[in-house]
Amino acid sequence: MIFETHAHYDDEKFNEDREELLASMKDNGIEAIVNIGASMDTTRWTVKAIEKYPFMYGAVGVHPNETGNMTDNDLQELAEYSYLEKVVAIGEIGLDYYWDEPERSIQKKWFEAQLELARMVELPVVIHSRDAAKDTLDMMKALHSGDIGGVIHCFSYSKEIAREYLNMGFYIGVGGVVTFKNAKTLKEVVEYTPLDRIVLETDSPYLTPEPNRGKRNSSLYLPYVAEAIAQIKQVSKEEIIDITNKNARNMYKMKEV
């Protein structure tokens, strides 16, 4: 059974058929889903959803592009949620320089604050880093984030940067991009990364794998990701599914699903 480590079922793109879609997961081989908070509102949605859906777990946090109006009260609210039984991570947090807002100093402030929160509550982190390779890595090293652990979500950097994170004990999140013909760098990273350090993710509703690229993504498309990794690693798709399931449980410090 597949373990989906990163999805956003709070997204409005699921409003019309969310219940039906989620109800179909188990019959389609999806054992567990971690819904990832990206703002205070989506974090609150996640906290309610993990109570409603037995197979769903949650990460609580504020995405770098949503930190412009973040407050200390928000941080305290995240801390309170972090003690819920089915909250398994702080995230997604990090740096995103693709957009100009909010300014980088604000992103860094709340990235550091949420990293330290994760350390305090002893949860792993889900890291978002876009066009910010050096600053993300520098901050995580300076803050000894290897002691916290977690995943570099939707990994998009070089094999050399992957090596740095692997040496810190982090997992590499691999999603639909690995199926793209022009994803040479990511395929090199997957080839380089030990199998026990890879986890499956979709970032649903985004980054839909081939052959459905351009459509709304969902966890139901994860077999395409597993197949692409299997071809790179020269093992069976079933082995990829089994190993990445175990990896996800280890990463999120879950004994059972």
Is residue 122 in some structural domain? yes
Q: Which amino acid, 12?
A: E
125, 148 in Cβ contact below 8 A? yes
Is residue 257 in some structural domain? no
pLDDT digits (tens, 9 = 90+) for 18-67: 999 999 999 999 999 999 999 999 999 999 999 999 999 999 999 999 99
18 phi/psi in degrees, rounded to 5: -55, -50
Instruction: Report CA 191 to chain centroid distance, whole Å.
Output: 20
Is residue 151 in some structural domain? yes
DSSP string, 62-104: --GGGGGG--HHHHHHHHHHTTSTTEEEEEEEEEE-SS--S-H
Closest CA to 64 of 162, 130, 11: 130
251, 171 in Cβ contact below 8 A? yes
Confidence of residue 256 (pLDDT cuts 50, 70, 90): low
Is residue 91 in some structural domain? yes
* Structural tokens at position 160: 């050399």
179, 162 in Cβ contact below 8 A? no
d(CA 242, CA 102): 40
Is residue 247 in some structural domain? yes
Is residue 185 in some structural domain? yes
Q: How many domains does the chain have?
A: 1
Is residue 256 in some structural domain? no
Tell me the residue range of the domain where 181 lies: 2-251
d(CA 246, CA 138): 29
How confident is the model at residue 257, as a pLDDT? Answer: 45
d(CA 138, CA 182): 28
Does residue 64 have a cis bond before it (omega within 30 degrees)?
A: no
Instruction: Report CA 135 to chain centroid distance, whole Å.
Output: 19
Is residue 142 in some structural domain? yes
- Average pLDDT of the chain? 97
pTM exceeds cut of 0.95? yes
Confidence of residue 100 (pLDDT cuts 50, 70, 90): confident
* Structural tokens at position 178: 């690995």
CATH of the domain at 200: 3.20.20.140
SS3 257: coil
